[in-house]
Amino acid sequence: QATLKPLKMELDEAWKMVATAHDKQEKDSETLKNLKEDISNLTKTTSQQPESSEDHHDLIIMVQDLTNERDQLETMVEGLKEKLNQAVTTHQELQEQREKAFQNISQLQQELQV
């Protein structure tokens, strides 16, 4: 019993980490999708409309800024995917430890009954 409580706490913590990483990844993916759409729309706008040189320059800077932000978010998403994979691996390892602990407890209970 004493060994199961810390394992259960670790397992719960691992699940929370997985859920948090997954939620963050989904939000970042949605932001990334929106930024890509914004970049695409701005690119279309600049190519379709003859702008004044100042407006055109502002749009180019905005596109560059959005592209940089997108690149940073892509890097962040990759990092979150890696953390999620690590959390899943940790969760699986904890599950295996938990199963082994249950097997050991069961075996000890059987030995005590004999």
Structural domains in the chain? 4-113 (1.10.287)
Q: Which residue has the tokens 């997108």?
A: 70
Output the pLDDT for position 49: 64
- Give the Cα separation of 113 and 4 in Å (integer): 21
Q: What does the pLDDT look like over 13-66, one tens digit per residue?
A: 888 888 888 898 899 889 889 988 988 888 887 777 665 677 778 888 999 999
CA 95 to chain centre: 21
Instruction: Using a cut of 0.85, tell me whether the model's pTM lies above it.
Output: no
- For residue 25, what are the CA distances in angstroms to 19, 34, 49, 78, 114? 10, 14, 36, 9, 52
